[in-house]
A = this chain, B = another copy of it.
Amino acid sequence: MRDVNGSTASEPTPAMEAPHGPARGRMPGTVGALGEFGLIRELTSRLTTTPAVRIGPGDDAAVVAAPDRRVVASTDILLEGRHFRRDWSTAYDVGRKAAAQNLADIAAMGAVPTALLLGLIVPVDLPANWPTELMDGIRDEAQVAASAVVGGDVVRGDSIAVSITALGDLRNREPVTRSGARAGDVVAVTGWLGWSAAGHAVLSRGFRSPRAFVEAHRRPEPPYHAGPAAAGLGATAMTDVSDGLVADLGHIAEASKVRIDIRSADLDVPAQMADIGQAVGVDPLQWVLTGGEDHAIVATFPREQKLPARWRVIGSVQGASARPQVTVDGAPWANAGGWDHFSPDADR
């Protein structure tokens, strides 16, 4: 983006920019002081690579191995104030979380993550260590999943946005979609459920402990390996739990045209989570059933399939239904989902 006068934006609209003079734009320790090329240098210098990365950052595009002859791809955006708060989460944790959210989508297709691309919007007055620590977090989470950041774009804007695209490889297994659940299948889950929501409840009441739940909120730990493993075990449908168990199983029920029943007695409500629930006056089952962001993986399997120890069978596919739905112990769960993120009520 460059016009004939050498200025950057092809179509600048001064009114949209925060008013600032040179002094503020170059405020020491800010991304403005670092400059675009300085920031890109800082960000790329922190990256690691893997054998799958044939060409990393710095050219027109990256080149990543796709041995399966198919590539799995997903994009998610996190906005400051909407998906994270700088006073609750460090840049590093935001990076871990943003990467985790995207890597979990790849795993939930039954694929092995290979690469991430980062689209980053930053204000000029943002402290320069914020994007670099964000990148450290993204890099480290990518490494947890044996993948790497291979490219991206950084632009200057009014508030922070982190857009990540994750790529993955199916390793000769068929992708597991949301639409393959069949009557008689069992529903099983692996990973954490409700921990992030319980941590959020703690934080939003001004507390910083119990640490385990606050940490779970700041930095999810999706069971990446479980996605491809489930595909290998013959999972008929799969998704990661990003909107809440009932809501995400609802996506499977809808896509597969089935009913799904969850048995609440089979859900794991840790004693400490129950304690938090009692302290804040919330049924902890609500966190387990509707809390998102832990990125557990939930899948349906043929009933006869033996599952590894870390999978917990929590329900069953009830049969084809013209009116797909998810029930808990046979009844609809109140406030289960379908929340409209664009609703004027969404910020209350």
Residues of chain A touching chain B, judged by Cβ–Cβ distance below 8 Å, are: 1-17, 20-26, 31-32, 34-37, 39, 54-55, 58-77, 79-85, 88-89, 105-106, 108-109, 111, 115, 117-121, 124, 150-153, 155-159, 161, 163, 165-168, 170, 175, 177-179, 196-198, 200-201, 203-204, 217, 238-240, 242-244, 247, 255, 282, 286-287, 290-293, 335, 337-348
Contact = CB atoms under 8 A, between A and B. Distances in A.
A19 B293 CA distance: 27
A70 B79 contact: no
Contacts of A168: 61
30 contacts: A3-B200, A4-B291, A5-B348, A8-B343, A8-B346, A8-B347, A10-B292, A11-B85, A11-B89, A22-B344, A36-B341, A36-B343, A37-B338, A54-B175, A55-B109, A60-B178, A60-B239, A61-B106, A64-B70, A64-B73, A67-B69, A73-B167, A74-B117, A75-B151, A75-B152, A75-B163, A77-B119, A79-B121, A79-B155, A167-B167
B342 A35 contact: yes
Copies in the complex: 2
A65 B61 contact: no
Contacts of A88: 11
A113 to B, nearest CB: 10
Given A77-B155, A165-B165, A293 B85 contact: no
A25 B31 CA distance: 33
B341 A156 contact: yes
Contact of A165 (B117, B196, B340, B341): B117
Given A60-B105, A166-B61, A197-B3, A16 B80 contact: yes
A293 B25 CA distance: 26
A289 to B, nearest CB: 10
